[in-house]
Homo-oligomer: A and B are copies of this chain.
Amino acid sequence: MSKVRVGIVGGTGYTGIELLRLLAQHPNVELAAITSRQEAGMPVTRLFPSLRGAVDLVFSTPEEAMLTSCDVVFFATPNGVAMKQVPSLLEAGVRVIDLAADFRLKDAEEWERWYGMPHACPELLSEAIYGLPEVNRSKIVGAKLVANPGCYPTAVQLGFLPLLEAGWIDRTHLIADSKSGVSGAGRKAETHILFAEASDNFKAYGVQGHRHLPEIRQGLGQIAGEVGLTFVPHLVPMIRGIHATLYATLVDNHDLSALQELYENRYANEMFVDVLPLGSHPETRSVRSSNVCRIAVHRPQGSNTVVILSVIDNLVKGAAGQAVQNLNLMCGFHEQQGLEALPVMP
């Protein structure tokens, strides 16, 4: 099969280097360009020696990069960058996968409220496909513009999905107690994510309101009508990984084996969602560096509260891996192409 020409905008963050790691080993991809205004002219491997021998690109300015000659362009940029460049790329026939949040919300006003800036192309919001293959696979295949989901939203939606689709829980009172490794905060020079601040420590943050809340609410709401959701993110002293602990109240008296069956059936054909046997506790390291989401279902002490445990690698299924999965769908490659490597454990 011939290769697609791929460009990456903003390749100096963690989703950027993770895209490079995955795409450099993808048999159907030709890495054509990677841009970074700040690092223009520097070989990628000077910044990321782990890619020595595999990536010989040099960071270029957006102007030099000739992105319109690419088949697909990934944006691994801060929020608010992609929306300014996407319209002209689409016009030039380039397909786009945005790993930032610019096209994740359908409601422009809500987007502007949470992201604190005017949206540069609100007219594209309805056209963008939310890139969660387990929900939108067929739409992604033909998409011109894919909004790659956030890391928390991926773990939380995959966890709640079967219960909401089945209508077995009270959707007005969902709780998503979520924990993320520090790479989720990005590769930015900020004090609170220094090693000496984040190590040997644990804290919640953004309890009053986090930008992933409206994204999750929108995703869950499209399944079963408006939901009531309390979302509390926490920072874990580990590099990669998200663990979502989800709580919901059962409205019917489905027993644990019915719950287990519901999850196994829902994800039976999903290659990247693995429902663990009854009684399991998924560990984030069991998916480290892989595109898998592992899920376990519990109903502690026989009460009517169901507890779902859902883990992903925030940089893979929560970002770059899911983006490659979307690329595979868009280009007609095998959905696992470039994503077969097993988790690294320990």
Q: Please state if B238 and A202 are interface contacts (CB–CB under 8 Å).
A: yes
Chain A stretch 49-85: residues in CB contact (< 8 A) with chain B:
49-54
Find out whether the CB atom of A300 lies under 8 angstroms from the CB atom of B209.
Answer: yes
- Known contacts A194-B195, A342-B25; A49/B286 CB under 8 A: yes
The winner among A195, A249, A344 for most chain B CB atoms within 10 A is A195
Give min CB distance, A52 to chain B, whole Å.
6
| Contact indicator B194/A283 (Cβ below 8 Å) | no
With an 8 Å Cβ cutoff, the count of chain A residues facing the other chain is 88
- Which residues of A192-210 have CB atoms within 8 Å of chain B's CB atoms? 193-205, 207-209
Complexed CA–CA distance, A345 and B15 (Å): 11
* Complex Cα spacing A230 to B286, Å: 25
CB of A50 within 8 A of CB of B287, answer yes
> Nearest chain B CB to A255's CB is how many angstroms away?
14
Complex interface: stretch among A128-136, A171-179, A323-331: A171-179
List residues of A (299-320) whose CB comes within 8 Å of B's CBs: 300-301, 303, 305, 307, 309, 311
A214-255 interface with B by 8 A CB criterion: 228, 230-232, 234, 236-241, 243, 245, 247, 249
Further contacts, 13 of them, CB under 8 A, given A173-B305, A193-B194, A228-B303: A49-B280, A52-B274, A179-B179, A181-B202, A183-B346, A188-B194, A196-B346, A199-B237, A202-B283, A208-B301, A230-B247, A232-B300, A237-B238
Spell out A's residues near B (CB within 8 Å): 14, 17, 21, 24-25, 48-54, 173, 175, 177, 179, 181-183, 185, 187-191, 193-205, 207-209, 213, 228, 230-232, 234, 236-241, 243, 245, 247, 249, 274, 276, 279-290, 292, 294, 298, 300-301, 303, 305, 307, 309, 311, 340-346
| CB pairs A–B below 8 angstroms (22 shown) | A25-B340, A49-B282, A49-B286, A50-B287, A175-B175, A175-B247, A182-B196, A189-B194, A193-B196, A194-B195, A195-B197, A200-B200, A200-B239, A201-B283, A202-B284, A203-B243, A203-B311, A204-B281, A205-B281, A208-B300, A213-B301, A230-B301
